[in-house]
Structure 1
Amino acid sequence: MVRAGLTTERLTRAGAELADEVGFEQVTVSALARRFDVKVASLYSHLKNSRDLKTRIALFALEELADRVAAALAGRAGKDALAAFADAYRDYAREHPGRYDAARFRLDPETAAASAGVRHAQMTRALLRGYDLAEPEQTHAVRMLGSVFHGYVSLELGGGFSHTAVDPQESWHRMVDSLDVMLRNWPTS
């Protein structure tokens, strides 16, 4: 018998909240069952296993983040778009660290192709059109932006910038300014 009020959507959302509280790696069907004060077996009519739960949280986070980035990019171009794009990712990671980790969960190719991850790639490429980069340079730039944003956010969330008096926000702005200069002066092969 299915417990009243439990749905796959509700469990996914609760799993995302749990990820923000305890970390994405700690999210399991058992932990979710404790949150609802139900037996683990009662969740298996909605979820196959912990991997299924994590996949659903990853898809939820990718969609949520894509919506946020799209809203931030609307009507912007060039450096303004780059800053809005970067800030949307950083703000999301700071507000939802578990969901941010979930958005990087490895999905099988078919699931990934049907996910909002495709929207992320499209938005990054749209942003780069303002810098007039053609392939294969555009792909190199997409990878660079992802690496820089993720690296900075990961270090910041891990406390890596808490040992100096220099405000991480100031460093963030300098990094975005530097990326803009680099993209406007992209080297060609």
Structure 2
Amino acid sequence: MVRVGLTPERLARAGAELADEVGFEHVTVSELARRFDVKVASLYSHLRNSHELKTRIALLALEEVADRGAAALAGRAGKDALAAFADVYRDYAREHPGRYAAMQLRLTPEEAAASAGGRHAQMTRAILRGYDLAEPDQTHAVRLLGSVFHGYVDLELAGGFSHSAPDSQESWTRIVDALDALLRNWPASS
């Protein structure tokens, strides 16, 4: 029997909240069942397995960040757009560390195609059009930005910058400035 009110979407949202509380790696169908005060078996009428739950959380997080990114980029260009987009990732990770971790889940090609990941790439490429980068340099720049944003955020979330000066916000601002300078002066292919 399907429990009234439980849907895969509601379970994904609850799983996302759980991920923010206990960490994405600790999200299980068993823990989610405890949250809803139901038997684990009853959740399997909505989810195939724990992997599906984690995938749904990842897809939800990608969608949330894409929505925030689109709103942050509206009417912006150049460095202003770059900084706004970078801040979306950093702010989301700080507010939702478990969901942010879920965004790193490796998706199947089918799952990736159905995700908001394509929107992330489109927004990044829209920012890069302001820097007049052609292919393949645009792809190199997309990879650079993703590496810097995610790498910095992961280190910051792990407490890597909490015990030294200058503070991490000052470093973040300088890094975005440096990325802007690099993108405006992209090196020629060798």
> TM-score w.r.t. structure 2 length?
0.98
1: CA distance, partners of 2:124 / 2:98: 23
2: CA distance, partners of 1:164 / 1:137: 35
Aligned to 2:15: 15
Q: Which aligned pairs between 1:27-46 and structure 2 lie closer than 5 A?
A: 27-46=27-46
Deviations 1:107-136 (A, max 9, x none): 100110121000001100001000000000
Q: Indicate the SS of the match to 1:183.
A: helix
- Report the alpha carbon displacement of residue 165 of structure 1 after superposing the two structures with TM: 3.3
Give, as a single letter, the amino acid of the residue that structure 2 aligns with 1:15. G
Q: Which aligned pairs between 1:118-137 and structure 2 lie closer than 5 A?
A: 118-137=118-137
Deviations 1:26-66 (A, max 9, x none): 11111110111110001011000000000111110100110
Q: How many residues align?
A: 189
Aligned to 2:4: 4
- Report the alpha carbon displacement of residue 185 of structure 1 after superposing the two structures with TM: 0.2
* Runs of 4+ in structure 1 over 6 Å off: none
Q: Indicate the SS of the match to 1:154.
A: helix
Unaligned runs of 5+ in 2: none
Query: Percent identity over the alignment?
Result: 83
Aligned to 1:105: 105
2: CA distance, partners of 1:33 / 1:165: 44
Q: Which aligned pairs between 1:50-61 and structure 2 lie closer than 5 A?
A: 50-61=50-61
Q: What RMSD in Å do the two structures reach over aligned CA positions?
A: 0.7
Q: Indicate the SS of the match to 1:5.
A: coil
Give, as a single letter, the amino acid of the residue that structure 1 aligns with 2:148. V
1: CA distance, partners of 2:51 / 2:74: 34
Unaligned runs of 5+ in 1: none
> TM-score w.r.t. structure 1 length?
0.98
